[in-house]
Amino acid sequence: MDNHHLFENTGLIIFKNFIKDPEFYEICTNLKRDILIEFENTDKKNLGGFQMGNLAVTTTKKYNKLIYDILIQNGLEKIIKEITNNKFSDYQITMGGNLNIPGGYTQHFHTDGIHENKFIIVNIATEDVYENNGPLEIFCNTHKKKLPYWKFLLKKKNT
């Protein structure tokens, strides 16, 4: 099955080892260092999400352009066109980051807002991700219909 049909059917595509660039690995190393410095110099009790172990990270701002440029160099525009039949320029780009704190708790299921519009999320792992340390759960085929939060919770309990 080609990537367009895979994306249409499942709502996701995973490209393992998409970026094989020494500069990217250096950026990831520096990003982790800067995040840890910021984290150590922050009053944790004032951080939303700290008790659960998942924090929005502001340090990523200075790395956004570097990571974006590497994504473009590795063919992100072509992939978006291939899977959506839309031009990359048709999309509004928003960048950010999250930090999963080692030893944190599984976060309760939630959404980060009301998402009425279609959008594509491109997650770039800056470290190895495994099922037990991944930053989010993905449920295939939930993109095909409007699923209220409460129904998704029921669906999640049955999966």
pLDDT digits (tens, 9 = 90+) for 38-76: 778 877 666 655 554 556 666 677 888 898 999 999 999
**Mean pLDDT calculated for residue range 76-80:** 93
* CA distances in angstroms from 151 to 48, 70, 155, listed in the order given: 26, 38, 6
Strands (E), 2-158: 54-56, 98-100
Q: How confident is the model at residue 106 (pLDDT cuts 50, 70, 90)?
A: low
Residue 70: its pLDDT value, please? 92
Q: How confident is the model at residue 88 (pLDDT cuts 50, 70, 90)?
A: very high
Residue 87: its pLDDT value, please? 92
Cα–Cα distance, 77 to 99 (Å, whole number): 26
